Amino acid sequence: AMNRVQLLGRVGQDPVMRQVDGKNPVTIFSLATNEMWRTGDSETTQGGEIWQPTLLFLCNLGDISQKTTWHRISVFRPGLRDVTYQYVKKGARLYVEGKLDYGEYTDKNNVRRQATTIIA
C-alpha cells in the first residue's frame, strides 16, 4: 500500500508552531493549489500555474474556469519543522510531499468534525 501526496502551490499564511499536551511541537500552514480548465474541456492543468503556451491556447478557445483547493500541512520532523517555521512565508510558492492523514476533533461548540491533513 502507498499513501503519498505531492502538492505545488502557494502558502496561505505564515506557518505557526503549536505544542499540545506535552507532545512534540508541530508547524502548521495552509497551501492553496489551483486547477484550471477551459469551459467544456475535460482536461485540467494543475500545479498552481500553467505554462504560457497552454495559457494562450486556453484563452483562444473558450472561457477559463479555476478552482482553488486549500490543504492543511503539518510538519512534525524536528529539522524540517523548524526550517519551515523560520523561512516559509505567506505567498511563497512551495512543493510539499507527504502523506494523507484523516482525523476527528471536537470544535468549540462541542461538534465532532473531520479533518484531512498532509503530514510532511
pLDDT one-digit tens code per residue, 40-77 = 655 545 544 444 444 445 555 567 888 999 999 999 99
pLDDT digits (tens, 9 = 90+) for 3-24: 999 999 999 999 999 998 888 9
In the chain, domain spans: 5-36+65-119
For the entire predicted model, the pTM comes to: 0.75
29 has a pLDDT exceeding 60: yes
| pLDDT > 90 fraction of the chain, expressed in percent and rounded | 69
56: Cα within 13 Å, side-chain hemisphere: 2
| pLDDT > 70 fraction of the chain, expressed in percent and rounded | 81
Q: Is the Cβ–Cβ distance between 27 and 17 less than 8 Å?
A: yes
Helix (H, G, I), strand (E, B) or coil at 18: strand
DSSP letter (8 states) at residue 70: E
What is the reported pLDDT for 101?
Answer: 97
The CATH H-level (homologous superfamily) assignment of domain 5-36+65-119 is: Nucleic acid-binding proteins (2.40.50.140)
